[in-house]
Chain A
């Protein structure tokens, strides 16, 4: 894998950021939570390239922030430089989120299932956990409220991508099919970007499906690293698009000169 990714002239973190960035557009109105370096880099890169109208609230607070670099915490006020408004209260934030004025959010769970539901609560039973995780935080809220959900994970293995979550902290496509629609929830997960591949979701069953493989990765390797059966599209599976020189330059020099994104690896 490494050899062929080298041919792209970039590293896996850069490929993930660029792939995330390209999924954003001028209609994206996003915000971020904790430990969200890949999405934060992605929003900033998209805004500097193809989506200058993208809205991003740093730490869900600092609207239109344009920080000179990315600090060690994506909830830190060091991320808020250049903002045009600090959305100061829960009242502002939840008004924008509940009404889907903010339309894009990205999750990274300790466990992710085939429908893009996520767990950040416990490994093992809730009442007697093997590992007590931080908790879902806003996952349960934003999974239900936000129409365009993106998932990412830098550690694609069967312990993360599981058949059954130990706890559903946040809803993706729920039980699949029209579950979200039946609950009256807008949209749902769009993509899941990992260190091996990009998944989209089958339009009817809403199960994860391989959309593209990163250079050098085979579909067998993805299946082996995934605890549920992955869907594959008909025909040849494309390779994840190559980042341009310009995207890589902007990411490395302007968006994240200190390499904060590597904290996720």
Chain B
């Protein structure tokens, strides 16, 4: 089955109110082409699962798409706090359900492996335990046979995982090249459907010739979309680095909430296609500056 689809078509399949998990880690490898299209299609009331995120969550919040964020961390690292995330949580417009990285990974594994919970020692003695006491999504427990303390992490169901990768064939075998997959495989394995944006399509024959380079098999993937520089302004190791200037421009614009919505509409939402957006961010010249000059 040919699973190639446009970014627009892929995003059309995501209903309002869905639980959407975003790949990437901080400034790296976020599925930004899909994220931007979600904003353009004005999806609403999404629950966004993002283990360690930044610009991806900020765009979705600025676009009014988010009801709840389930995350361990959202920031621009040394380039500052994620402005829309910060404002929306402070005002109560968006709910944040905080976990740590490993607690989230364990919840995703419980879902992927069809287990009632996965145990970890992460989070013991922290306020994350009482924070989730009422919902019971994570529970501090003591093992009956050994007396050891652990945290039971219950299933975290996800409707759609969105991840960015280097290449895919037409039937949806995906190559993360090199096989540096951050925590993306954890969300892929836990999700009902996975959509993958890729830098390039390759022939199925290439996949068969080097099957050890495949990261996600076709039966785990629902759709693949071409998006050159699809992680921009985050990085896609080893091909390109994050674009510092964009983060700075965005943060500066966000420092004035009055004019920020105009900036966001004009700069992020308005360009019709992903290629148009990349062109508006400096096109080839910008691409050259971030390729292999990650810093």
Contacts and interface: CB of A to CB of B under 8 A. Distances in A.
Q: How large is the interface on A (under 10, 10 to 19, 20 to 34, 35 or more residues)?
A: 35 or more
B127 interface: yes
Interface residues of B, number: 56
A147 B246 CA distance: 39
B178 A144 contact: no
Contacts of A132: 81, 85-86, 89-90, 96
Contacts of A139: 100, 126
Interface string B91-126: 010001011111101000000000000001111111
A82 interface: no
B75 interface: yes
Interface stretch (A23-31, A88-96, A152-160, A205-213): A88-96
B149 A135 contact: no
B5 interface: no
Interface string B1-45: 000000000000000000000000111100000000000000000
B179 A169 contact: no
B121 A184 contact: yes
B92 A88 contact: no
Contacts of A136: 72-73, 98, 100, 126, 128
Nearest to B101: A138
A170 B295 CA distance: 29
Contacts, number: 161
A136 B97 CA distance: 12
A48 B148 CA distance: 40
Given A73-B78, A135-B98, A145 B90 contact: no
Given A34-B77, A77-B237, A140-B100, A86 B178 contact: yes
Interface of A: 34-35, 61, 71-78, 86, 88-90, 94, 97-98, 120-121, 126, 128-141, 143-145, 165, 167-171, 174, 179-180, 183-185, 263
